Amino acid sequence: MKCKSSVNLIPKHKKGLWSPDEDEKLRDYILNHGLGCWSSVPINAGLQRNGKSCRLRWTNYLRPGLKRGMFTAHEEQIILTLHSTLGNKWSQMSRHLPGRSDNEIKNHWHSYLKKKVVKSDASNEDSSSVSSLKSVTSSPESSPHMDSLSTAGKIQPKILFVDWISPAIDNSDELSVSGDVDVIYPPWSSQGTTKKEGSRVSNLNLSNEVDMESDLNDLIYTYLNINDVNMYNWDDLYSASTTPSQSSSRSL
């Protein structure tokens, strides 16, 4: 945990909005060196920021795979479901919404969803919409997207960031979905760097481990609702995580 960095060498830390130049420095540094000690990142990257600020900027804005843009109705439903069971556990929610940062979910909740819920509760306390939401949220495993996922004929995802998979799942090399899925272990992935040495695309044949199924299915269902893959920063992803010949999912 401790990091032998020369934090004291930093005279003062810049605050406020990030400039494009700063973004580029941070992105270039992480893509080239991977994630290590955040306190040393600004020094090595030539930024007058503290490590905390760099981490936030990376996770909320620069990290490849971030979706950005409007939340879909499905994503909002997931947030409502999770919030009713987890409360204000934004980081836990973000694990169920690949491509969304905890900050993004939190902001969307405070700016929109919270009011929506309040309005809904006030207008129809005994309405079916409220009761249906509560019935959905009584058990995380019984969420509507989980139910519909079990139906046949769904398109399978072709590619997943390892960061989108919970650490619990990633403890095994075998993942519990049917078919082939490309799991990407990019150099910035804390989960992937040690196990896969980064910069690899692993084409995994997935097995049927029941105890892992629900979490991964949840994740995949979310993925299936992504309509426009171009909203992802695929260029950054592939340039950093693969060599051109390895991009088996390039056709996505």
Partner DNA sequence: AAGACGGTCAACCGCATTAGT
Partner DNA sequence: GACTAATGCGGTTGACCGTCT
Residues found near DNA in the complex (CB under 7 A)? 1-3, 5, 7, 14-18, 36-39, 49, 51-53, 55-57, 60-61, 68, 88-92, 102-104, 106-108, 110-112, 190
Q: Tell which residue, 238, 160, 165, has the closest CA to residue 199.
A: 238
| CA 212 – CA 141 distance, rounded (Å) | 12
CB of 62 to DNA, least distance (A): 9
CB distance 157 to 223 below 8 Å: yes
Residues 6+ away with beta carbon under 8 Å from 12: 48
Q: φ, ψ for residue 167 (rounded to 5)?
A: -55, -35
Residues 6+ away with beta carbon under 8 Å from 35: 187, 188, 189, 190, 193
CB of 251 to DNA, least distance (A): 30
What would the DSSP string read from start to end of 41-81?
HHHHHT-SS-HHHHHHHIIIIISTT---SPPPHHHHHHHHH
CB of 236 to DNA, least distance (A): 17
Q: Which is nearer to DNA, 106 or 158 (CB)?
A: 106
Q: Which is nearer to DNA, 51 or 99 (CB)?
A: 51
Q: Which is nearer to DNA, 88 or 171 (CB)?
A: 88
CB of 55 to DNA, least distance (A): 5
Q: Which is nearer to DNA, 112 or 138 (CB)?
A: 112
CB of 46 to DNA, least distance (A): 16
Q: Where are the beta strands (DSSP E) in 177-246?
A: 180-185, 200-205
Q: Which is nearer to DNA, 17 or 210 (CB)?
A: 17
Q: Which is nearer to DNA, 144 or 198 (CB)?
A: 198
CB of 182 to DNA, least distance (A): 25
| CA 183 – CA 192 distance, rounded (Å) | 10
CB distance 73 to 51 below 8 Å: no
